[in-house]
Structure 1
Amino acid sequence: MSDWSLPKEEIIEAKAFIDMFEVAPAFLVETAELAWMRIGEGCAVSLPSAPAMGLNRILAVRDRDDLERAYQWLSGRKGKRYVQIDEASAPTEILQWLKERGMEKQGNGWAKLTLPASSATLLPAGTVTTRLAGPGDAALFAETMCRGFGFDRGLEPFWAGIIGKPRWNCFIAWLDDTPVATGAMYMDDGYAWLGGGATIAEYRNRGAQAALINARLEAGLSQGVSVFSVETEQPEQGRERGSTSYSNLRKAGFRQVYTRQNFRLKD
């Protein structure tokens, strides 16, 4: 196997998802078929009732034998399932492995972006305010996130499970007295992963996600984070400015380090 090292921004994302699944309420294993497995520094996760690609995938696995083990496990699960690979840097043997299993790319992939703490730039403040969610806000955080992502309310306990847990900072954005958006951050070993950015449809393009980026950067800086990482949908070439998420991240100082393609497992 040729050297194909795993970047730390990929490792911190995998850590976040492993932790997210481990702290989920136990009843979801039976009611929602929640399952996960560690594979080296990566993982495979499955929550078939969630339409989100991020909750049904193989992540941060680069050894071919480990990929095969994860593939066999995920193949036995339900729902739409994916393997995420940085295709541009992948060795030929990995690309061949994908081809042999009949997996095809879906969409434009995900842009992976990072930001050294020393380069962090807060975005212009608007009328949206943010608040760190405590245990008493777990239900509200989960409801707001599910509304923002368009998830079934049955998934609210999954998101509520991370509130108040070690290494997690979760925020709710408010417009006047209305909760309109959410954002989460997982921190470990000087790295932070930003995720869970969801805004209720009727409140989009009002500055909520910019405010949540600021809140997480400020919180991370105060807690010793040295590098922030995040992923968002890869915009089409020449349309980067049309992607609100991508544009906000770039304005805050994030720089794209690679694009991770999404390969769907055959049904």
Structure 2
Amino acid sequence: MNIQPTEIQANTSRTIRSIEAEAWIDMLDAAPLPVRKQLGIETFRSDNACFLACRELPAVPFNRGFAVRPQWSASEKEMAEGLRWLDRNASKMWVIQVDEEGFDASSAALSRMGITRKDSGWIKFFSRPVDHIVPNEPRIEIADGGRKATDFANVINAAYGFPTATFEWFKALASRDRWTCYVAYADNEPCSAGAAFFGSAGAWFGIDATLATARGKGLQSAMIARRLRDVGDKGAVIAMAETGRPTTVDSPLGTSFRNYQRAGFEVQHYSANFARDPNAPRSATPVFMM
């Protein structure tokens, strides 16, 4: 298992960040207004960075900032503006993700602002969509409304232990333009979920959730292959995904990492997490890819 990228390709890294920012902002915007108010959902784009907040859902993926362009670290004014926004709007466990491109400048500037490196961070993947055939593929349905959308939201809430309020959010996401949400069934019971966002620069894969009782059966791998086929059919030339960065080859936190590599995704870059809160937990645990 290769945890490191073979070569940092700046243009690909920036494309990945652009896709990621568009997908996450649209995902948070999908939450119905009552849910937005209840969970404290907000988004913010500065000139060169993206910021997400979900104050009452203290999971790192929903409470973070990241540069979309490396110019962000050149402006301490813009950096400070983003940090103030996170302090006002996000859960106290928010992080700033710093990529390998421009890492030294960004980490030095954050250090001067009292923001320090926390953990092993995340890995960003990319793939060129191609036909991926999975033997004995399980029953995978598109959650395009009705009962399937309910199944999609229920699997996510159960797998991640999210609060009840998120159910209506992810149910609404299943019917949102540019999103395709999926449910995998075993013995006619919904047990795994995943989503694909088709953005202006490419596709984003995430919201991978499998119930504990159904893990280890190849459901996530089948879901990855199905999404690659579908976004390829729609004309996507690149797909990206993100997982927690496993600290060792056999780490239990590396299951999603290994599944994406087996599906043909390549490691593009590593993102370190920086935080103001010294007690912020290791971010790979709640990362939205299980």
Q: Same fold (TM over 0.5)?
A: yes
Unaligned runs of 5+ in 1: none
* Partner in structure 2 of residue 111 of structure 1: 123
Q: Are 1:210 and 1:248, in contact at CA under 8 Å, matched by a contact in 2?
A: yes
Q: Are 2:183 and 2:194, in contact at CA under 8 Å, matched by a contact in 1?
A: yes
Q: Give distance in 1, aligned partners of 2:119 and 2:154.
A: 28
Runs of 4+ aligned residues of structure 1 deviating over 3 Å after TM superposition are 237-242
Shift of 1:24: 1.3
Q: 1:67 aligns with which of 53, 62, 79?
A: 79
* Partner in structure 1 of residue 61 of structure 2: 54
Shift of 1:16: 0.5
> Root-mean-square deviation (CA), in Å?
2.2
- Per-residue deviation, residues 184-209 of structure 1 (Å, max 9, x unmatched): 11112351010000111111111110
Unaligned runs of 5+ in 2: 1-9, 279-290
Matches of residues 124-143 of structure 1 in structure 2 within 5 Å?
Answer: 124-126=134-136, 128-136=138-146, 137-143=148-154
Shift of 1:151: 1.4
Q: Give distance in 1, aligned partners of 2:185 and 2:201.
A: 29
Shift of 1:85: 0.9
Select between 237-246 and 167-176 the one with higher mean Cα deviation: 237-246
Q: 2:258 aligns with which of 247, 255, 258?
A: 247
Shift of 1:266: 2.9
Q: Are 2:44 and 2:51, in contact at CA under 8 Å, matched by a contact in 1?
A: yes
Q: Give distance in 2, aligned partners of 1:30 and 1:124.
A: 41
Q: 1:39 aligns with which of 46, 60, 70?
A: 46
* Partner in structure 1 of residue 238 of structure 2: 227
Shift of 1:91: 5.0
Q: Give distance in 2, aligned partners of 1:159 and 1:153.
A: 11
Q: Give distance in 1, aligned partners of 2:37 and 2:98.
A: 30
Aligned letter for 2:276?
Answer: L
* Partner in structure 2 of residue 177 of structure 1: 188
Give the 3 Å change call, closer, same or farther, for CA 96–247 of structure 1 in structure 2.
same
Percent identity over paired residues: 25
- Per-residue deviation, residues 149-195 of structure 1 (Å, max 9, x unmatched): 22122221222221121111110111121100110111123510100
Q: Give distance in 1, aligned partners of 2:46 and 2:135.
A: 41
Matches of residues 1-267 of structure 1 in structure 2 within 5 Å?
Answer: 7-40=14-47, 42-61=49-68, 62=70, 63-64=72-73, 65=75, 66-79=78-91, 80-86=93-99, 88-117=100-129, 120=130, 122=132, 124-126=134-136, 128-136=138-146, 137-239=148-250, 243-266=254-277
Shift of 1:241: 9.5
* Number of aligned residue pairs: 261
TM-score by length of 1: 0.89
Q: Are 2:244 and 2:253, in contact at CA under 8 Å, matched by a contact in 1?
A: no
Aligned letter for 2:96?
Answer: V
TM-score by length of 2: 0.83
